[in-house]
A and B are shown apart, each in its own frame.
Chain A
Amino acid sequence: MGPATTWYLGVAGFLFGVGALGVLIRRNPLIVLLSLEIMLNGANLALIAFARHLNNGDGQIFALAVMAVAASEVVVGLGLIVALNRKRVPLDVDRLSSLRG
C-alpha cells in the first residue's frame, strides 16, 4: 500500500490550483494551454485516486477519455496559435479582446 488517498487528492488539488492560477494570470496563450493541461491532469489524478480508493475501474476509464479529449483540444489550441502567429497577431490573450462590450 502506498500513501493514503488524501495525499493523492492533495496533489491533485495543488495541480489544479497551479493550472488555474496559470490560466488566470499568464498572457501567453501557449502557457495558458499548458496550464489547462495541468488542470486536466490534476482532475485525472483525482479520478484515478478515487478509482483506486473505491476499487472501481470506472474512474480510470474516465481518465483515459479525458486524456483523449485533452489531446484533441491541444491539437485545436495549437492550431489556433499557429494560425494567429501566421497572421502576425501578437501572442497575448489580453489583446485578443474584440468581444469587449
Chain B
Amino acid sequence: MIYGAWICLLSPLAAAGLITLADERISRRGAGYLATLSCFVAFGGAVASLVGLLERDGGQRTVVSTAWTWITGGSYRSGFAVIIDPLSVFMMLIVAGVGALIVAYSIGYMDGDNEERRYFAYMALFVFSMLLLVQGGNLILLLAGWGMVGLSSYLLIGFWQERPSAIAAAKKAFIMNAIGDATMALALFLLIQKAGSLEFGILGGQYSSTVANLVALGLLGGAVAKSAQLPLQTWLPDAMEGPTPVSALIHAATMVTAGVYLIVRTHAIFEQAPYVADLAAGLGAGTLLIAGLVALVQVDIKRVIAYSTMSQIGYMFVGVGLGAYANGMFHLMTHAFFKALLFLAAGIVIHALADEQDIRKMGGLRHLMPRTYLVFLIGSLALVGIFPLAGFFSKDSILAAALDRGAYGYVLWVAGLAGTFLTGLYTFRLLFVVFWGEPSPFVREHFHALKDDFVGLWLAVPVAILAVLSVLGGWIQWAPLWHPIDTWLQTVAEPTVSPKSWQEAVSSALALLLGLGGIYAAWLFYGVRRLAVPRFAFPQRVLEHKFYFDELYDALFYRPTVWAAKGFYRWIEEPLVDESSDSLGHDTRDLGRLVARAQTGLLRTYALAIASSVAVLAIVFVAVR
C-alpha cells in the first residue's frame, strides 16, 4: 500500500524527467506513450493504495509514510511524507485515472504539433504536482504541490508561446493563483507560530476564534484562487487559450477542484470558523449564479464549458462550506468525468473544424459526427443532472444538504436551484447551436470527419471511457438509499449536516424539473427556434463583459499601479535618482579637469616639483630636529 502510494506519486515525475533528459532521443509519440504509461502506472499505484486501505478497519485508515526529514528550523520540522487515507486515495484515483485518459487523448490531439515532447513533459509534471498536492503528508507539502500545479498550469496555458493571448492568459492565471498562494502561506505561518507544526493533526487543536478565522480565511483565499471562485475567478475563462486536453485535465477535472479538496482536508479549522465556512458556501453560490449567467452569452465553445466549470465548482463550494464534505467530493468526482468528457468532445469538434472555436460559425454537426454528438449529449445531460446520469446523484445531494441548514441554507438552496435552470439553459444552448440546425457555410467548407486512423483512435477511446463513466459513475452513491462515499470519507471528515430523506427527495425532484425546464427553454430558443432569443441591451452588455470584473480589477489595481509607477518615475526617479547621479558625474569630471592642469607633460615641471618638495622636506626635517 505504501509502495503503491509512492509509485503513484513518483512515476509521473520520472516520466517528466525522462522526456526532458531524453530530448530528441525519444520520438514525439514515444514521449506521449511514456507520459500516458506513467499516468496509468500512477493509477495502478492508487488502486494498490485503495486495496491496502480496504483491508484495514475504518478507524485505522490513515497512514503517513515519511521518506526523510525535509525541513528543520528551530523546533519546527517537516518530513517529506505522503498521507494515505480515504480522502487522498479518493483524489489519487480521480487525478491519476482521469489524468491518464486525458494524456492518452493528447497523443491523438497533439499529434503533429512541433513540440509534443515539451507538452507531454509538462503534462506529466502537472500530474505529479497534483498528486503531490493531494498526497502531501503535511500542509507544507500540500502548499508545495499547490504552487507546482500553479506553475504547470502556467506552463500549459502558455504552451503555444507564439500566441500573445496565450502568454497573457498564462500570466493572468499565474498571478491570480499567486495571490491565493500568498494568503495560504500567511495562514500556514500563523499556524506554525501558534501550533509549531504543520501536520494535519494540529488542525483539530483548539485555537482562539481570531486565529481560527484568520487561518481559515487564508486557506479560503488559496481555495478560491485555485478553484476560480469569486472574487479571483477571472483567470479561468482566459486559461482556455491552452490546448483543449489541458483545459480538460487542469481547468475542469483536477486542478480547479483542488480548492474543494483543501477545504475538506482542513475542515477542522473551518468548523472552528463557521463564518468563514459560510462565506465559502456563499462565494460558491455567488459564483455558480454569475458563471451560469455569463455562460449564456459566451460564443467560444471552450469558454462556455469553462464558465460551466466555475459554476459546478460553486456547487462543490456550497457543499463543503456547509459541511457536506462527502457530497462535495462526490460532485467533484462525477464532475471530473462529465466535464472532462465535454471538453474532450469539444476538442474533437474543434479538431474536425480546423481549430475553430466560435460557436456562431458552427451548426448542424449532429449528422456529420453522430458519435461525438452522442457523447456530447451524454456529457450535457450528466452536467444538467438528468436521471440517471452522473450529475443527478451528486448535485442534488448538495442541494439537499443546503436545505438542512436553516435560513442561510434556504438562500443557498434557492441559488443552487436557479443555477440548475441556468445549467440546463446554457448547456443545451451550446449543444443546440453546435449540433442542431443546418450545417453552416463554415462547417461545409472546413469540416473533415475523424478517421479511424492513429489520431482518431486515440481521440475516441478515452472519450468513450469517460462517456461510460459519466453514465455509470453516479450510481456509486444514491443518497439516501446507499452512500458508500459518505461512509468512505467519514473517518476523514465527519459531515456536519445530515439531510433527511424528504429533503433529498424534494431537492432531487425540483432540480430535475428545473434542469429539464432549462433544457426546454434552450430547445425553444435554440433547438427549434420557436421563440426568438430575447435581447435586452443592458443585461446582455453586462453579461458579455462578464459582470465587469476584469474592468473592475483593471481600475482598482492595474491602473493605480501604473499611475503610481509613472508618478514615482516622474517625481522621484527622474529628479532625485537620475539627476543626482548625473550631477555627481559632472562634478567629478570638473574636478578632474582642474587637477589635470597640474599635469603639464613637461619634464622640467615634474623635476622642479620633485626637487622643491625634497628641499622643503629637508628644511622641515632640519628645522623640526
Contact = CB atoms under 8 A, between A and B. Distances in A.
Interface of A: 20, 23-25, 32, 93-94, 96-101
B604 A25 contact: yes
Nearest to B604: A24
A20 B601 CA distance: 19
Contacts of A93: 602-604
B602 A94 contact: yes
B607 interface: yes
26 contacts: A20-B607, A20-B611, A23-B604, A23-B607, A24-B604, A24-B607, A24-B608, A24-B611, A25-B604, A93-B602, A93-B604, A94-B602, A94-B604, A96-B601, A96-B603, A97-B600, A97-B602, A98-B601, A99-B599, A99-B601, A100-B600, A100-B602, A101-B595, A101-B596, A101-B598, A101-B601
Contacts of B601: 96-101
B276 to A, nearest CB: 74
Interface in B429-455: none
A25 B605 CA distance: 10
A97 B597 CA distance: 13
Nearest to B599: A101
A2 B136 CA distance: 106
Interface of B: 595-604, 607-608, 611
A95 to B, nearest CB: 9
B3 to A, nearest CB: 79
Nearest to A97: B601
B591 to A, nearest CB: 12
A100 B604 contact: no
Contacts of B599: 99-101
Contacts of B607: 20, 23-24
A25 B604 CA distance: 7
B124 to A, nearest CB: 67
Given A24-B608, A94-B604, A99-B601, 9 more contacts: A23-B604, A32-B603, A93-B602, A96-B603, A97-B601, A100-B601, A101-B596, A101-B597, A101-B598
* Nearest 3 Cβ contacts at the A-B interface: A101-B596, A97-B601, A100-B601
A7 B107 CA distance: 110
A101 B607 CA distance: 17
Contacts of A20: 607, 611
Contacts of A97: 600-602
A101 B595 CA distance: 8
Nearest to B597: A101
Contacts of A96: 601, 603
A94 B603 CA distance: 7
Contacts of B597: 101
B610 to A, nearest CB: 10
Nearest to B615: A20
Contacts of B603: 32, 93-94, 96
A101 B608 CA distance: 18
A62 B375 CA distance: 110
Contacts of A23: 604, 607
A30 B358 CA distance: 95
Nearest to B592: A101
Nearest to B603: A93
Contacts of B598: 101
B493 to A, nearest CB: 83
B325 to A, nearest CB: 83
A20 to B, nearest CB: 6
A77 to B, nearest CB: 12
Nearest to B594: A101
A32 B607 CA distance: 11
A76 to B, nearest CB: 15
Nearest to B611: A20
A20 B602 CA distance: 16
Contacts of A100: 599-602
A70 B304 CA distance: 98
A49 B608 CA distance: 27
Interface centre among A23, A24, A93, A101 (most CB of B within 10 A): A101
Contacts of A32: 603
B552 to A, nearest CB: 64
A21 B435 CA distance: 111
A20 B612 CA distance: 11
A94 B611 CA distance: 18
B312 to A, nearest CB: 80
